[in-house]
Amino acid sequence: MEEEKIIVCFGDSNTHGYDNKTGGRFDKNTRWPMVLQKLLGEEYLVREEGLSGRTTVFNDPLHESLSGVEVIRPILLTHEPVSLLIIMLGTNDVKERFAATPENISRGLDRLIKKAQDAEEAFLGAKPNILVIAPYPIDDEYRETAIGNDMGEGCAEKSRKLPALYKTIAEQNHCHFLSATDIPGMENYPYDYMHLSPKAHRALAEALAERMKEYLS
């Protein structure tokens, strides 16, 4: 029997499945990693590693344990052998309190990727296989919502610059790359203009399922 292919989904609230209507979490039939699991079938094991507020490398002065680079190694070793690591981060990095430019954020992604690649044993000696997803940019209207003051100024503008920068970083590190802006349906934001709707979760999962053979080849 062929060994199951393990896919680790490493992200923030949009991987955890934050439901901005309730403040809770979408159910397993809605969250994109679990939708992806159903689409791929029993030959795959999709592991959810999403945490609300997570950044690439920045330590949040208001909340603990949100820097992705500090936890990526143990997470990968927990799920070994990993066939594919999916990284979708950057939305929280644009918060005003981090005072990070888009270029700073892309350098944070670069550091995170290299940290993951250093955990080579999690991939059982194979070349680390990583997919970088540039998150869908924040809409300008976020500023007038309940999360506007927490996020601060300039978030939407910075987030729009990330896909092009992320693509360059992914290519330099020999990673797969996908921009959420290229997936039909991902623009479907509800209420706060930052978190994915159920339709957007489904759109992302379907796009990944269609490309999975390419990512694992």
**86-143 tens-digit pLDDT:** 999 999 999 999 999 999 999 999 999 999 999 999 998 788 999 999 999 999 999 9
Model pLDDT, residue 54: 98
Model pLDDT, residue 2: 66
Of the candidates 13, 9, 32, 31, which has an alpha carbon nearest to the alpha carbon of residue 85? 9
pTM confidence score:
0.96
Q: How open is the CA angle 11-17-21, to the nearest 5 degrees?
A: 135
Residue with tokens 């002065």: 61
Per-residue CA distances from 217 to 32, 169, 178, 202, 214 (Å): 22, 21, 16, 24, 5
Burial of 83 (0-12, 13-18, 19+ CB in 10 A): buried
Confidence of residue 146 (pLDDT cuts 50, 70, 90): confident
CA gap 137, 162 in Å, rounded: 8
- Select from 3.10.20.30, 3.40.50.1100, 3.40.50.1110, 3.30.565.10 the CATH code of 5-216: 3.40.50.1110
Confidence of residue 192 (pLDDT cuts 50, 70, 90): confident
Model pLDDT, residue 3: 80
Beta carbons of 170 and 132 less than 8 angstroms apart: yes
Q: Mean pLDDT across the chain, nearest whole number?
A: 95
CA gap 175, 105 in Å, rounded: 17
Strands 176-179 vs 24-25: parallel, antiparallel or unpaired: unpaired
Confidence of residue 21 (pLDDT cuts 50, 70, 90): confident
